[in-house]
Amino acid sequence: MKAAVGILAVVALASVPLWLRDPYLMNALITTGIFIIGAMSLNLLLGFTGQLSLGHIAFFGIGAYVSALTSLGFDVGLPFGLRIVHIPWPPIAGFVLAIVVAGFCGYLVGLLSFRVRGAYFVIVTISFAEVVRLVALNWVELTQGPLALTNIPSITVGLPGLGDLTLRTKLQNYYLVLTVAVVTYLLISRLVHSHFGRSMRGLMENETLAVSVGIDVTRTLTLAAVISAGIAGAAGSLYAHYIRIIDPEVFAFINTVTMVIMVITGGKGSLAGPVVGGLIFGLLPVFLRPIMAPEAQWIAYGGVLIVILFILPRGIVPSLALRFAKPPKPIEARAPAAFTERDAKEHA
Amino acid sequence: MTEAALTVEKVAVHFGGLVALSDMNFSVGEGEIVSLIGPNGAGKTTAFNVVTGFLQPTRGAVSYRGTALNGLKPHQIAGLGLARTFQRTSVFPNDTVYDNLLIGLHRQSRVSFLDSILGLPRARSSERRLRERAGELVEWVGLERRGHDLAGSLSYGEQRLVGVALALAAEPSMLLLDEPVSGMNASETHTFVQLVRNIRDRGVTILLVEHDMPMVMSVSDRIVVLNYGRIIAEGTPDAIRNDPAVIEAYLGQGAARA
């Protein structure tokens, strides 16, 4: 039943370019898709471990910059007369490196802050994003600072038997983003249903008890942070190669807030939550644009957020799921052999 | 007494100027049921927290089966086969009883992270085993009718049972129960005593902290009495029942003289 809904949703999304010709709407869908991938990665931390990363855009931005620089190449002077010269690599290598570097940053942030957690984690992540933004802004030799990195090449994928395909058009990028989003969704789904996911849930619900049944807090949370950051990095890479220009504004706090809003309205801790929330808040600007000034749109977002959370306080997906929930089927009773024997002897 | 499984030597715990435990020595033999009793504030839960690594002692040493526990983290101590239950927070409230046990079976899962992400057959068969085991544990503590209810919605007594099942999920060689029958009625307590004996008969050593004296007297092999952070008596239930120091601690001096 659940799988059927999922397949139907993917088929519906895959059919969109067949009937939608408006390039502006296609563009909105692609950037929304990229942000949904970011929101899914944020949900892994916020919804399944309870840790709020308010600097999540840092991993996204790092992914974008790493991927862009890998495919553009750079020539940077370092202290002590060292120089690093990097010859451009294919963008697909940038995509992989974006995941690795963002994941490593997630590891560092996790290692530093999960000793304390809660509010401290929020502060560390905000600071981290701000520091990364300042680096991107001021290390002009590497990042061009506010002048932005331009002419970032589009992603080229090698198709077996068909040669190389460079994804330049909106149509191609739409399917690329859709594919990465579906893979991300499946990955996170596997993850949270595995015993690792249960450890995360246990920690969120009752840390003391989780520790006493042998769950390693630091390892679990750090691993979640690495995967979350890696996915955000992948989204950032897609963004860089689609928009083909990035500047330090990508690290703006509002971008993190947008992702948090997507997760909260859709429903944190539910797999489909960020997708639903992301579609709403990603496409809302498209529909508001003809009738509202950009400043007024932000007020409208706030209004929509409040109305949704007022009606469906747990977020859209969990609240609706609860409303339509069927009573669960009972556990099949199986007698544990070791004990029935002993009990039988005692009663005899 | 058989060979000692758990040894607590000269343990002291100070919270700033407050002495919660001063110079505590006792040991628990393999397969024994030992109870730790004493008036409120005597240091029982502190002793528990020291043994399970939730608190580091100010002085002294704890060892289990020859391994020193000082400096180990709680999850590492759990890894050595010491499992515990908690007084208040004994369940994962927003998960079903069944899922609670799947979380508790964490240590039994031998699949690597990558295996479970890729959904390899090894991961799936391990998952199946865990589910079977969770079903057995639910049944063993007699909660099969509640398996799909959220643990947080269960009665106090039932949550205690989930707590015990969770501790057992780790397949411990020693189980520490912190006031397990508080909140249970007489018949629930009676069933619980049977359960504790059953667990011991499987070869699990048990250390119990409890206020319910009839329960303690009926289930324990030995009793250790704490008061004001020190041990004032130790012995069989019969010896403890007649120990003047114990009577004094519980009922006051007048009663001891009377």
List chain A domain ranges: 22-252
Three-class HEC string of chain B: CCCEEEEEEEEEEEECCEEEEEEEEEEEECCCEEEEECCCCCCHHHHHHHHCCCCCCCEEEEEECCEECCCCCHHHHHHCCEEECCCCCCCCCCCEHHHHHHHHHHHHCCCCHHHHHHCCHHHHHHHHHHHHHHHHHHHHCCCHHHCCCEHHHCCHHHHHHHHHHHHHHCCCCEEEEECCCCCCCHHHHHHHHHHHHHHHHCCCEEEEECCCHHHHHHHCCEEEEEECCEEEEEECHHHHHCCHHHHHHHHCHHHHHC
Chain A residues lying within 8 Å of B74, measured CB to CB:
211-212
Q: How far apart are CA A47 and CA A320, in angstroms?
A: 17
Q: Which of B103, B107, B194 to mutate to test the interface with A (most CBs of A within 10 A)?
A: B103
Kindly report the nearest CA distance between residue B148 and chain A, in angstroms: 7
**Closest residue in chain B to residue A223, using alpha carbons only:** B113
Classify B4-87+173-257 by CATH class. Answer: alpha beta
Cα–Cα distances (Å) from B126 to A79, B107, B167, in that order, read 53, 12, 20
Kindly report the nearest CA distance between residue B112 and chain A, in angstroms: 9
Q: How far apart are CA B214 and CA B218, in angstroms?
A: 6
User: How many contacts (CB atoms, under 8 Å) link A and B?
Assistant: 121
Chain B residues lying within 8 Å of A340, measured CB to CB:
none
Q: Is the ipTM of this complex over 0.85?
A: no
CB–CB of B138/A333 below 8 Å? Answer: no
Which one, of B178, B181, B209, lies nearest residue B37 by Cα? B209
Cα–Cα distances (Å) from A36 to A15, B24, B163, in that order, read 18, 57, 38
Strand partners for A158: A164
Tens-digit pLDDT string for chain A (348 aa): 678 888 999 998 988 888 888 889 999 999 999 999 999 999 999 999 988 989 999 999 999 999 999 999 888 888 887 888 888 888 889 999 999 999 999 999 988 877 777 788 898 899 999 999 999 999 988 888 888 888 888 888 777 777 777 778 888 899 999 999 999 999 999 999 888 899 999 999 988 899 888 888 888 999 999 999 999 999 999 999 999 999 999 998 888 988 999 999 999 989 999 999 999 999 988 888 888 888 888 888 888 888 988 888 888 998 888 888 765 555 544 444 444 444 444 444
Answer whether B46 touches A (CB < 8 Å).
no
CB–CB of A225/B142 below 8 Å? Answer: no
pTM: 0.84
Q: Across the interface, which of A212, A216, A223 has its CB nearest the CB of B52? A: A212
Numbered ranges of CATH 3.40.50.300 in chain B: 4-87+173-257
